[in-house]
C-alpha cells in the first residue's frame, strides 16, 4: 500500500544510533522515546487536518471497496515509524530516515495526493487484473473476461473491471480540489506547519544525547 511520508534527516545519525545501541542501550532507548515525543506535535497536526468524514460521496463509509473511507485503517491513522538509520549511499542519498510519519489509510492517501502530477488521467479505458490478482468477471459488459479479484457482499469471489475514464478522474480531482486545495491537501500541508519546530527539537535531543555520551565516555 502506498503511503505518504514526512522525513527528518540528520548527518551521521547512523553512527550515533549504532554506538548507543551497542554500548549504552538505556540511553538508546531514551533517545528513541524522546524523538517520538518530539515528532508527536506533527503527528497530531496531520491527524487533525484529515477530514473526519469522507470528502466525496463516492468514497463514503457506506460504499464497498478497498478505497472506501476508513477501510482497512482509520482515515486519521498516522503512525510514527522509527528505524535504525544506515549509512548514506555513495551518491549522498539517505537509505532510510530514522523517524517518519506514515499515513495508513489508502483512501486518505488517495484523496490527499490525487492529481499531484495530472499525467495519467484517462490514459487507459479500463483497469484489468493480472496474475494472482485476477478472476473471471461474472456478469455485465465484460462477462467472461479477466478482471481484478473482488469479494462481493454475498461472499462470492470473482473479477471486476473498473472503468477508468478521463471524466471520472477529472471529476474526482475537481471535487477534492474544491474541498481541500491541490495535493497534498491535508497531510503534508499540516505537517509543514510543525516541521521547523520538530526539526529543531529533534536536533536538540540529538545534541543532548551526544553530550551525555561524551560525558560518560570521558569520565
* pLDDT band (50, 70, 90) for residue 1: very low
Provide the CB-side half-sphere exposure for 182 (13 A, CA): 4
More confident residue, 80 or 175: 80
Q: Which whole number is the average pLDDT over 119-126? A: 56
pLDDT of residue 78: 95
pLDDT over threshold 80, residue 198: yes
pLDDT of residue 121: 58
Phi, psi of 23 (to 5 degrees): -105, -30
> Could you tell me if 66 and 72 are in contact, meaning their C-beta atoms sit under 8 angstroms apart?
yes
> Could you tell me if 108 and 50 are in contact, meaning their C-beta atoms sit under 8 angstroms apart?
yes
SS3 82: strand
DSSP 8-state symbol, 59: G
What is the CA 82 to chain-centroid distance, rounded? 14
More confident residue, 196 or 216: 196
113 CB contacts (<8 Å, ≥6 apart)? 4, 183, 184
110: its cell numbers = 488517495
More confident residue, 93 or 195: 195
In what order do the strands lie in the sheet containing 5-7? Answer: 5-7, 99-103, 78-82
65: its cell numbers = 471497496
Q: Of all helices (H) and strands (E), which one includes residue 47?
A: helix 25-49
Sign of CA dihedral 181, 187, 190, 192: negative
* pLDDT band (50, 70, 90) for residue 3: very low
pLDDT of residue 201: 94
Domains in the chain: boundaries: 5-121+167-218, 126-163
Q: Is the pTM above the cut of 0.75?
A: no
pLDDT of residue 194: 94
Cis omega (within 30 of 0) on the bond before 184?
Answer: yes
pLDDT over threshold 90, residue 146: no
More confident residue, 175 or 197: 197
Amino acid at each position: 500500500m502506498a503511503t505518504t511520508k514526512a522525513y527528518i534527516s540528520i548527518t551521521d545519525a547512523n553512527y550515533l544510533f549504532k554506538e548507543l545501541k551497542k554500548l549504552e542501550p538505556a540511553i538508546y532507548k531514551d533517545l528513541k522515546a524522546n524523538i517520538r515525543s518530539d515528532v508527536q506535535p506533527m503527528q497530531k497536526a496531520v491527524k487533525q487536518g484529515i477530514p473526519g468524514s469522507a470528502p466525496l460521496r463516492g468514497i463514503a463509509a457506506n460504499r464497498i471497496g478497498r478505497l472506501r473511507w476508513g477501510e482497512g485503517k482509520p482515515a486519521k491513522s498516522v503512525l510514527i515509524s522509527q528505524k535504525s538509520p544506515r549509512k548514506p549511499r555513495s551518491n549522498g542519498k539517505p537509505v532510510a530516515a530514522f523517524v517518519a510519519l506514515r499515513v495508513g489509510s489508502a483512501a486518505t492517501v488517495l484523496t490527499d495526493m490525487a492529481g499531484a502530477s495530472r499525467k495519467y488521467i484517462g490514459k487507459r479505458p479500463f483497469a484489468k487484473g493480472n496474475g494472482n490478482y485476477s478472476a473471471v468477471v461474472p456478469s455485465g459488459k465484460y462477462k467472461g473476461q479477466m478482471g481484478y479479484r473482488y469479494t462481493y457482499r454475498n461472499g462470492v469471489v470473482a473479477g471486476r473491471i473498473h472503468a477508468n475514464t478521463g471524466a471520472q478522474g477529472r471529476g474526482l480531482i475537481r471535487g477534492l480540489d474544491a474541498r481541500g486545495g491541490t495535493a497534498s491537501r491535508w497531510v503534508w500541508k499540516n505537517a509543514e506547519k510543525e516541521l521547523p519546530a520538530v526539526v529543531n527539537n529533534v536536533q536538540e535531543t540529538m545534541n543532548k544525547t551526544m553530550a551525555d555520551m561524551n560525558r560518560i565516555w570521558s569520565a
